[in-house]
Amino acid sequence: MRLSLFSRLALGYLVIFLLVTAVSAYAIFQLHRFDELTESVLKVDTRILEYEKILADSLLSQSRYEQKFTITKDEALYKQFLTLKQDFYVQLATALALGDSSAGTLLSKIHRDYQSYEELVAREAELLRKKKIYVQSQFKEEKNRIVDQMLASLEKLRADQQQATYTKVRELAEAAEQAREISVVITVGCLIVIVVMSLIVTRSITRPIGLLKSKTREIAQGHFEGGLQITSPPEIGELAAAFNLMCDKLRELERMKADFFSSMSHELRTPLTSIKEGTGLLLDGVGGETTDKQRKLLAILAEESNRLIGVVNSLLDLSKMDAGMMTYEFEWVSLDPLIRRAIAEITPLVEAKQISLESSVDLPLPAARIDPERILQVLRNLLGNAVKFTPKGGRVRVVAKPANGKLEVSVTDSGPGVPAESLTTIFEKFSQGSHKGAHARHGTGLGLAIAKTIIKSHGGEIWAESQLGRGSTFVFVLPC
Ligand code: ADP
DSSP lists the bridge partners of residue 412 as 397, 473
Question: Taking 80 as the threshold, does the pLDDT of residue 440 lie above it?
Answer: no
- Pick 234-323's CATH classification: 3.40.30.10, 3.30.300.130, 3.40.50.720, 1.10.287.130: 1.10.287.130
Average pLDDT over residues 173-189: 88
Give residue 417 CA to ligand 1 midpoint distance, Å. 10
For the chain, give every domain's residue range: 5-197, 234-323, 331-479
Question: Which of 448, 455, 470 most suits a substitution to test ligand 1, by most atoms within 8 Å of the C-beta?
Answer: 448
Residue with the larger pLDDT of the pair 432 and 236? 236
Question: Taking 60 as the threshold, does the pLDDT of residue 437 lie above it?
Answer: no
Contact, 444 vs 430, CB < 8 A? Answer: yes
Question: Taking 90 as the threshold, does the pLDDT of residue 113 lie above it?
Answer: yes
Helix (H) / strand (E) element for 398: namely strand 395-403
Average pLDDT over residues 458-475: 95
Average pLDDT over residues 232-259: 86
Q: Is the CB of 435 under 6 A from ligand 1?
A: yes
Give residue 381 CA to ligand 1 midpoint distance, Å. 9
Helix (H) / strand (E) element for 271: namely helix 234-283
- Residue 270: predicted pLDDT: 86
Cis amide bond preceding 233, omega within 30: yes
Residues 224 and 248: their CA atoms lie apart, in Å, by 8
Question: At 448, which amino acid appears?
Answer: L
CATH architecture type of domain 331-479: 2-Layer Sandwich (3.30)
Give residue 314 CA to ligand 1 midpoint distance, Å. 14
- Residue 160: predicted pLDDT: 92
Average pLDDT over residues 397-421: 95
Summarize pLDDT for 263-287 with one digit per residue, the tens: 777 788 888 889 999 999 998 888 8
Average pLDDT over residues 316-323: 76
DSSP lists the bridge partners of residue 28 as none
Residues 107 and 99: their CA atoms lie apart, in Å, by 11
Residues 118 and 123: their CA atoms lie apart, in Å, by 8
Give residue 274 CA to ligand 1 midpoint distance, Å. 29
Question: Taking 50 as the threshold, does the pLDDT of residue 81 lie above it?
Answer: yes
Of all protein residues, whose CA lies closest to atom 26 belonging to ligand 1? 418
- Residue 442: predicted pLDDT: 63
Atom of ligand 1 nearest to the CA of 435: 16
Q: Identify the three-state secondary structure at position 16.
A: helix
N-terminal to C-terminal alpha carbon distance within the chain: 56
Question: Taking 60 as the threshold, does the pLDDT of residue 33 lie above it?
Answer: yes
Q: Is the CB of 116 under 6 A from ligand 1?
A: no
Q: Which CATH class is domain 5-197?
A: mainly alpha
